[in-house]
Structure 1
Amino acid sequence: MIQAFGLTSNTRRGLPPALDDVSFEARAGCVTALLGAPGAGKTTALRLMLELQQGRGITYFKGRPLHRIAHPSREVGVLLGDVPGHPARTVRGHLRMLCAAAGVPVRRADEVLEAVGLVSLRDERLSTLSRGMDRRLGLACALLPEPHTLLLDEPAHGLSPRECQWLHGMLRAHAVNGGTVLLTTADPKEAARAADRVVTLDSGRLAADQDVTDFARTRLRPRVAVRTPHAARLAALIAKEARTEQRSVEVVQEEGNRLYVYGSTCADVGETAFRHGVLVHQLADEVGDMGPGSARRPPETEQGAAGVAATAQTQPPSPVTETAETDDPHDVEPPVGSIEKERRVRESAPPVKALRSTDPVSPPPPPISVRSARSPLRPLRYELRRAAGVSTGFLTAAAVLVTSALIAVFLARVGHTPQPRLLAAWPRELPLPPAALGAGLLGSLAFGDEFRHPALAADRGTVPRRLGLLAAKLVVTAATALVLAFLTVGCDAEVLYLVYGPELAEVPADWPALSVSWIGLVIGCGWAGVLAAGIFRSTTAGLAALVAVPVVVVPLVQKALGGPSVRAAAGFPVRLRQVFLMQWPFGGERYLEVAARVIVQPVGSALTLSLTALLCAYLLTTLRGRVR
């Protein structure tokens, strides 16, 4: 059950709020439609309910606000817009990744695929899905953690009538099983077909909160659509005959040559036009939308025919353009069983205040602060499936290996290159070797893809910035960089052996220190890409920050270290051994000494300084987001 009280959005630049003091309920076991024209505040209402936008008001889901629910994704399933997944990811891979994020068994992905009818398309890429299949996948993502409540923003937009019928059946099945469904729509006929209760918004305010039977009776009425070049004359003739015969007829004239006649039939309107010689281009039965204001006034059919005069208006309500040849007016009536069930539930509960409160002494609703998105429950498993779900990482690694081998062969042919740089394929003209650049690119993609295709964000923008997700990305990036570093040296050595013989593939004598330096460089570049992309929310920014280390930071460090100084760090290794007097297992003190030597070098110092600054900036932005 959803209870929303006083939802009000913040004003911007002196404009009125997009949503102003809206309160309503969506009961369990029922489908509730939030109806309104584009710009009426439907999406804003959902964002305020989900605490994705700042404003005022409070929303309870089964008696608790969203920020007090331990696992919100398991309580509320959300669909806002298109499915925000990577275009190259498969349907099944995308759902398996979300299973890891939500902490549900991976078999749940196959279950929801079968439920929404996507089993045959489970290996298709997200970029190849049609609009209807994308809506099915979005519903599958919302149903994945088996939530009690579904919040769907325009779920049937752009779907064919058959796909809409399937969608409404799925939502009805969820409600029959005891769930709560709240969907938004701009089509009154869709609201009447799919919902048990309709909440109407008009210019950000609550216009009506009705049972679907009352809604269909007051808002949807049969009418006759007429198109004629003499619209004003025909409207006056129809009104005059209605007054003469004391019939309840309302004539609404649109701009141009269209008329809508309520309370009459095609035969009567056609006979009137024929008797007076009025040319008619179109004459058809329709189901008309009387507009949101009609819900607050009694219909003409209940006032009696004696005192009702036909009227002509210049500004009509929003028309529904489906004609009777393709749409039966009676199909807007919802199932009788669902109405009776909802009526019994409503009578057993206290009524809800439907209209805006005008009590001047009532306190304002509490403020809504943007809820910081929670990190996945199993971030490491999520990150592994995210990285392995697309071919970008594998293609990047292959490109790095091929480029490194070609550069190593070229450097060996030219000569005058030290053996360590030859095996790493690192010419002095390049700021970083291909392996380090590849690790930095993979690290940048770890957060860059999250912001470009935010699978974890309900509003396509709020990516989790918790430390658990950061730690998972750092661990996976470090493991990937380590494998890439070993493969690069091994492939370069093998290619040099095949082309030039064994003399260029020999292992240097000081390989332990060189290995630590090499591994530290590649992993550090990968981590710099992760942190920079997480801070600047872009893969390009992550790569730019990585390249700035050798281009900008290293010269500054060299200048600082090469300047005049009173103290020198001579004898640092000896003093380090004196500090760590005990013997470490497997000669650990030697590796510590090697790591210290790497850090005091200009490149190592610059990379360490950059990583420290990026980590502090990431923590600062994360803490600032929590404070807000």
Structure 2
Amino acid sequence: MIQAFGLTSDPRKELPPAVDDVSFEAHAGRVTALLGPPGAGKTTALRLMLELQQGRGLTYFRGRPLHRIAHPSREVGVLLGDVPGHPARTVRGHLRMLCAAAGVPVRRADEVLEVVGLVSLREERLGTLSRGMDRRLGLACALLADPHTLMLDDPADGLSTRESRWLYGVLRAHATQGGTVLLTTADPKEAARTADRVITLDQGRLVADQDAADFSRTRLRPRVAVRTPHAARLAALLAKDARTAQRSVEIVREGGNRLSVYGSTCADIGELAFRHDVLVHQLADEIGDMGPRAAERQEGQAEATEIPGEAQGAGHSGHSEKSPGAPSPLPSLPPPISVRPAPSPLRPLRYELRRAAGVGTGFLTTAAVLVVSALIALVLARIGHTPQARLLAAWPRELPLPPAALGAGLLGALAFGDEFRHPALAADRGTVPRRLGLLAAKLLVSGVTALSLAVLTVGCDAEVLYLVYGRELAEVPVDWLSLGVSWIGLVVGCAWAGVLAAGVFRSTTAGLAAVVAVPILVVPMVHKVLEGPGVRSAAGFPLRVREVLLMQWPFGGERYLAAGARVVAQPVGGALMLSLTALLCAYLLTTLRTRVR
């Protein structure tokens, strides 16, 4: 059951709020429709209920606000707009990734694909799906965690009649099993046909809250649409004929050459027009919406007697319509609604692995790095005068960073940048999460990826140099341990800098820019600080560390510590450590700020 109290959006500039003091209930086991024309505030109401938009009011899902529910996706399934997934990800891969985020077994992806009829398209890319298939996938995402409540914004928009009938059949089945369904629509006939209760919004205000039967009786009226160049004459003839036959007929002039006739039939109107030689261009049965603004539109236009009892029926608008002067049961100023951050995945490491392996960007980047590194190594070997360590790393002095470090930084930036570009985690829960569990998973996966890339790059470069120039240029340097630690620290550090910067600045481009800024901006600053007057030199820092640690570590562990100390003592290593520390602090500050808010 959903209970919404006093939903009010924050107004923009001098405009009135899109939703103004809206209260209603959606009961379990029933389908409830929010009806209104475009701009009536239906979508804004849903976003306020889901705490995705700033405003005021309260919404309870089975007695609890959304931010008090431990696992919101298991309580509320949401479909707002298109599925915000990576266009290169497969349908099945996208659902399996969301399974890890929701903490449900991976077989659930295949189960919901069976329900929505996408089994045959499970290997299709999201970017190739039609509108109907995208709607089916959105419904599958909403059903994935088996929620009690479904909230859907105009789910049948752009669908064919057959697809719409199927969609509403699934929603009806969910309600029949005891679930709550709340959907929005602009079509009154669709609302009357598919919902058990219809809540009508107009210009941000609730104007009616009715059972579907009452809605159909009082708001949907059969009529005959007539187009004729002699609209005034035909209207007068119809009114005269109605008075003669003592029938209740209402004729509405809708501008131009169009008439809407209530209480008559196409046959009667056609025969009357034929007898009086009135030319008719259109004569058709229609179902019209006699909503709250229809009376204003028709005022002064009716040219026949009213249907008995119509005024009484049109005035009925359910128990939620407020009468003038009636005391309001809600406080004058409902509590504020603040945008809540999305919860982190319940299984962050599994989620991150499926996210990274679900698209080919990482594999293409790795292949491009290996090819470019091999080519640069060959060019450096041909030119000569390049130290062996830089030759194996394919790092000429003219480049700020080697291709492997740039590739690792790009992969790290994509790890968080894609969350903001294709926010699969934040489709229905607000901002992309910056929780420490998700960060740790991304750092771990990006670190292992960078480590693999560093080893593969050196191995491929050595193999290519051996094949082209012989064993001499492929020899391992004598101080391979310290060089290896420095190399791995550089590549992994660049990957982590990309992850943290993309998480802080919400952009892949900003993440990669932060990686490139280390050798271009931070290293010169570190040089300037260290070489300034009054600053003591850090030379001999690794040796002094070894002297302090008098005991010998098992398995020669002191050598690895000394190698790590050499990395930190280098300008690039120190600058990278400084950048990582600053980015981590910025990330933690943003995380704490969202939690306090």
> Equivalent of 2:368, from 385, 399, 404?
399
Alignment of 1:329-408 (within 5 A): 353-355=320-322, 358-359=326-327, 363=331, 364-408=333-377
> Equivalent of 1:575, from 544, 548, 554?
544
CA contact (8 A) 1:208 1:355 kept: no
Letter of the aligned partner of 2:121 in structure 1? L
Sort the Cα spacing of 1:42 and 1:551 in 2 relative to 1 into closer, same or farther, 3 A. Answer: same
The CA distance in 1 between the partners of 2:238 and 2:9, in whole Å, is: 46
CA contact (8 A) 1:201 1:292 kept: no
The CA distance in 2 between the partners of 1:362 and 1:486, in whole Å, is: 65
Q: Which residue does 2:271 correspond to in 1?
A: 271
How many pairs are equivalent? 582
The CA distance in 1 between the partners of 2:251 and 2:30, in whole Å, is: 36
Deviations 1:494-543 (A, max 9, x none): 00000000000000001111011100110111111111111221111211
The CA distance in 2 between the partners of 1:486 and 1:151, in whole Å, is: 49
Unaligned runs of 5+ in 2: 297-303
Q: Which residue does 1:113 correspond to in 2?
A: 113
Deviations 1:26-51 (A, max 9, x none): 11111111111111111111111111
The CA distance in 1 between the partners of 2:233 and 2:498, in whole Å, is: 72
1:144 CA displacement? 0.4
CA contact (8 A) 1:493 1:505 kept: yes
Deviations 1:264-320 (A, max 9, x none): 111122123223332111111111111245799xxxxxxxx98759x9xxxxx9xxx
Q: Which residue does 1:471 correspond to in 2?
A: 440
Q: Which residue does 1:516 correspond to in 2?
A: 485
Q: Does 1:207 align with 2:175?
A: no
Sort the Cα spacing of 1:198 and 1:362 in 2 relative to 1 into closer, same or farther, 3 A. Answer: closer
Q: Which residue does 2:475 correspond to in 1?
A: 506
1:461 CA displacement? 6.4
Letter of the aligned partner of 2:282 in structure 1? Q
The CA distance in 1 between the partners of 2:467 and 2:595, in whole Å, is: 56
Sort the Cα spacing of 1:252 and 1:123 in 2 relative to 1 into closer, same or farther, 3 A. Answer: same
CA contact (8 A) 1:85 1:455 kept: yes
Q: Does 1:426 align with 2:409?
A: no
Deviations 1:425-482 (A, max 9, x none): 0111111100001001111111111111111112496211111111111111000000
Letter of the aligned partner of 1:51 in structure 2? E
CA contact (8 A) 1:84 1:460 kept: no
Sort the Cα spacing of 1:563 and 1:203 in 2 relative to 1 into closer, same or farther, 3 A. Answer: same
1:64 CA displacement? 0.9
Alignment of 1:229-268 (within 5 A): 229-268=229-268
Give the TM-score, by structure 1 length.
0.89
The CA distance in 1 between the partners of 2:534 and 2:574, in whole Å, is: 17
Unaligned runs of 5+ in 1: 297-304, 312-316, 318-350
Q: What is the alpha-carbon root mean square deviation over aligned residues?
A: 2.2
Q: SS at the partner of 1:550?
A: helix
Q: Which residue does 1:290 correspond to in 2?
A: 290
The CA distance in 1 between the partners of 2:348 and 2:50, in whole Å, is: 22
Letter of the aligned partner of 1:46 in structure 2? L
Sort the Cα spacing of 1:22 and 1:572 in 2 relative to 1 into closer, same or farther, 3 A. Answer: same
Deviations 1:183-211 (A, max 9, x none): 01111111111111111101111111111
Q: SS at the partner of 1:201?
A: strand
Alignment of 1:485-500 (within 5 A): 485-500=454-469
CA contact (8 A) 1:207 1:293 kept: no
CA contact (8 A) 2:341 2:430 kept: no
Q: Which residue does 1:97 correspond to in 2?
A: 97
- Range that drifts further, 535-544 or 470-479: 535-544
Q: Which residue does 1:456 correspond to in 2?
A: 425
> Equivalent of 2:503, from 534, 539, 542?
534
- Range that drifts further, 15-24 or 287-296: 287-296
Deviations 1:2-32 (A, max 9, x none): 1111111111112111111111111111111
Q: SS at the partner of 2:544?
A: helix
CA contact (8 A) 1:451 1:461 kept: no
1:573 CA displacement? 2.8
Q: Which residue does 2:301 correspond to in 1?
A: none
The CA distance in 1 between the partners of 2:132 and 2:277, in whole Å, is: 48
Q: SS at the partner of 1:509?
A: coil
Letter of the aligned partner of 1:248 in structure 2? S
The CA distance in 2 between the partners of 1:149 and 1:278, in whole Å, is: 55
Deviations 1:125-167 (A, max 9, x none): 1111111111111000000000000000110000000000000
CA contact (8 A) 1:153 1:185 kept: yes
Alignment of 1:3-152 (within 5 A): 3-152=3-152
Letter of the aligned partner of 1:181 in structure 2? V
Sort the Cα spacing of 1:252 and 1:96 in 2 relative to 1 into closer, same or farther, 3 A. Answer: same
- Range that drifts further, 590-599 or 172-181: 590-599
The CA distance in 2 between the partners of 1:358 and 1:412, in whole Å, is: 89
1:626 CA displacement? 2.4
Q: SS at the partner of 1:287?
A: strand
The CA distance in 2 between the partners of 1:136 and 1:566, in whole Å, is: 65
Q: SS at the partner of 1:403?
A: helix
Identical positions, percent: 81
